[in-house]
Amino acid sequence: MPKILDGAAIAEAIKREVAGKVRELALKDIRPGLAAVLVGHVPASEIYVRNKVAACAELGLHSELITPPESVTTDELLKLAAELNCRDEIDGILIQLPLPAHVEAKKLLDAVDPAKDVDGFHPVNSGRLQAGRPALVPCTPGGVIEILDRSGIAIEGRNAVVVGRSDIVGKPVAMLLLNRNATVTICHSKTENLAEITRQAEILVAAIGRPGFITPEMVKPGATLIDVGINRLNTREEFDRFFKGNAKREAAFEKRGSVIVGDIHPAAFELSSAYTPVPGGVGLLTIAMLMANTVKAAKMRRGIA
């Protein structure tokens, strides 16, 4: 019977640890601070940012939500980033994506002080990660490593395959695994003989953004499956492809008109030794890791070990 890797329990453990570190810093008159910049009105982003702000309050961090209008220009946002870079009480700056099409997103992300880049997207932090030096690591990849470590799943010496090459997940999670002495292969939509490669994986990370892309015949029996994908199924045809006969999912689909599936076909999980469910897996780690990064940034900026 495969082991379900419980993202909720691991996220709560990380939050408890963060709260403890916040209390320790309070003894030094330091309160880590996060500024979240949310441009315009994107409902999913608004919910996500509200959850981040709520997590700050829960754990004792200072937070500020800055909401420029959708008409804001790149130059105006660059000025805002410069102001936040200079504010000592702000340790982390979060630019919520996606941004409006007229905003030069990469230019804005690059304008954030690397020491306050709690999303880990800045080229300086990417370079530090590649060099194996201390850095602020992207939250979702960092969460993947936490899940493996806290579940007692060995990384060193294992064959790891990452399906997906995004700057946000695929590349950094591959580098984190490599830095932990795994033998890493990065695959993507153009990889030839993909199933032949994924079947060699003892740790398989799926982050390609396609529902059920990894099928049972692509999985080595006994592998650990890490599903980073979050894909919404809105039609009966899509639902039946993955969950036909699943009474629990059927009830959820009837109630909400949609369900979530990851990048790994649910049938593939039965072949694994352990897996992250969707929902309930990697996604729940993202906010916890953001809180951890904010505290890490506060300590690094002040030279506190």
- Tell me which DSSP letter residue 114 carries: G
Q: Domain of residue 49: give its range.
A: 31-114
> CA separation (Å) from 142 to 69, 135, 168, 275?
31, 11, 11, 17
Q: What tens digit of pLDDT does each residue of 235-244 get?
A: 999 999 999 9
pLDDT the model gives residue 68: 96
Q: Which residue has the higher pLDDT, 44 or 175?
A: 175
CB under 8 Å to 258, separation ≥6 — which residues?
232, 233, 234
- Count structural domains, the chain: 2
Claim to verify: residue 164 and residue 242 sit in the same structural domain: yes
Say what the pLDDT of residue 299 is.
97
In this structure, the answer to whether residues 267 and 157 fall within a common structural domain is yes
Q: Residue 189: is its pLDDT beyond 90?
A: no
Q: What Cα–Cα distance (Å) separates residue 88 from each residue in 35, 97, 109, 110, 270?
A: 12, 24, 19, 19, 50
Same domain, 181 and 71: no
| Same-domain pairing of 86 and 195 | no
Question: Per-residue pLDDT for 45 more than 90?
Answer: no
Contacts of 51 (CB under 8 A, 6+ apart): 287
Do residues 84 and 190 both lie within one domain?
no
Catalytic residue among 52, 116, 296, 299: 52
Per annotation, catalytic residue among 6, 117, 119, 227:
119
Would you say residue 16 lies in a domain? no
Q: Do 146 and 181 sit in the same domain of this protein?
A: yes
> Is 296 designated active site?
no
Residue 19 lies in a domain: no
pTM given for the model:
0.95
Question: 225 in a domain, yes or no?
Answer: yes
Is pLDDT at 43 greater than 90 in this prediction? no
For residue 200, is pLDDT > 90?
Answer: yes
Once rounded to an integer, what is the mean pLDDT over residues 1-7?
96
Residue 44 has pLDDT above 90, yes or no: no
User: Average pLDDT in the 118-138 region?
Assistant: 95
Residue 157 and residue 241 in one domain: yes
- Specify if 126 maps to a domain: no
Question: What is the mean predicted confidence (pLDDT) over 120-142?
Answer: 95
Confidence of residue 84 (pLDDT cuts 50, 70, 90): very high
Which of 114, 130, 165 terminates a domain? The answer is: 114
The CATH number that applies at residue 62 is 3.40.50.10860
Q: Does 229 fall in a domain?
A: yes
Statement: residue 140 has pLDDT above 90: yes
- Is position 52 annotated as part of the catalytic site? yes
Question: Crossing angle for the helix pair 43-59 and 7-26, nearest 10 degrees?
Answer: 50
Identify whether 46 is part of a domain: yes
The whole-number average pLDDT for the span 129-153 is 96
Does residue 240 carry a catalytic annotation?
Answer: no
Question: What pLDDT is recorded for position 167?
Answer: 93
Average pLDDT, the chain: 96
Per the CB < 8 A criterion, the answer to whether 187 and 231 are in contact is no
Residue 271 banded pLDDT, cuts 50, 70, 90: very high
- Answer yes or no: are the C-beta atoms of 15 and 288 closer than 8 Å: yes
Q: Do 106 and 42 belong together in one domain?
A: yes
**pLDDT (0 to 100) of residue 41:** 86
Domain shared by 154 and 269, yes or no: yes
Same domain, 197 and 240: yes
The whole-angstrom separation of Cα 245 and Cα 225 is 23
The answer to the question of residue 22 being in a domain is no
Write the CATH number for 164: 3.40.50.720
In a domain, residue 217? The reply is: yes
Of 96, 171, 227, 296, which is the active-site residue?
Answer: 96
> Do 234 and 186 sit in the same domain of this protein?
yes
- For residues 41 and 79, membership in a common domain is answered with yes
pLDDT number for residue 266 = 95
Q: Is the pLDDT of residue 90 over 90?
A: yes
